[in-house]
Amino acid sequence: MDGLTVALVAVIVMYGLRAKETRERIQLLGAHLQSFEIERLLEQLHTGYQRALSEQQAGTRELIWQQLENAERQLGRQAQELTKAFAQVPAERARVSKWAGTLPYVSRWLPQTCFDMREMLAVHAQGLIDTAQNTEGLPPKQKAFRMLAEMLLFQHSCHWFCKSRSVATARMVLRHQTAPEQAVDAVSPRTREAYLKVLGEQAG
């Protein structure tokens, strides 16, 4: 075979392996998520915050904030339970490449370039719980913006685990007009510090 044919075969093989790994990761995380209502709660809160932030009547707006508090607490608890369940996943399967685009199964042969999804889920769960409990006493609007940031960063990590950093980032920008760096800046200082520590990065 000539060089071009070899390269083409290599690309096809790599693409097939990468697709296989992606399916495995989606199935793994999906198997854990199916026991919870996390996705429904994320959507409920996102829609609810939009309603509250656009509501002109103070009384109605306050009622919406109160109605969302229960969903916030549920999300925090369920994220914590997800973290406990996912903690049983073997280390090799929980590794996530920090590269923007990744080669297939890079977590097996270059573990030093990866972070641990088990640790990352724990960071997000704690951030969601702290924000739901409003440990800093934030006013409703500021609390909502922080919770939205915590939620978006949590979703970004899940998509990063399933696909890649670049795909997760593109999805976040397209769907929410928010870059991961903006979400990192908007979460609580505790979440930000823990998140960057898991990635092995420092605040800019």
DSSP 78-91: HHHHHHHHHTTS-H
Nearest to 30 by CA among 101, 71, 76, 89: 89
Maximum Cα interatomic distance, the chain, rounded to a whole number of Å: 74
Alpha-carbon distance of 93 to 52, in angstroms, equals: 40
Q: According to the model, what pLDDT value does residue 132 have?
A: 97
Q: According to the model, what pLDDT value does residue 20 have?
A: 65
Q: According to the model, what pLDDT value does residue 112 have?
A: 83
Beta bridge partners of 115: 96
Residue-by-residue pLDDT tens, the chain, 204 positions: 566 555 555 455 455 545 667 888 899 999 999 999 999 999 999 999 999 999 899 899 999 999 999 999 999 999 999 999 999 999 999 999 887 666 656 666 677 889 999 999 999 999 999 999 998 999 999 999 999 999 999 999 999 999 999 999 999 999 999 999 999 999 999 999 999 999 998 665
Q: According to the model, what pLDDT value does residue 134 have?
A: 96
Q: According to the model, what pLDDT value does residue 8 have?
A: 53
Residue 79 contacts residue 38 (beta carbons within 8 Å): yes
Q: According to the model, what pLDDT value does residue 102 have?
A: 65
CA dist 13 to 65, 156, 164, Å? 51, 28, 18
Alpha-carbon distance of 73 to 162, in angstroms, equals: 26
pTM: 0.89
Query: What is the Rg, in whole angstroms, of the alpha carbon atoms belonging to the chain?
Result: 19
Q: According to the model, what pLDDT value does residue 99 have?
A: 75
Alpha-carbon distance of 16 to 124, in angstroms, equals: 32
**pLDDT tens-digit readout, 103-153:** 656 666 677 889 999 999 999 999 999 999 998 999 999 999 999 999 999
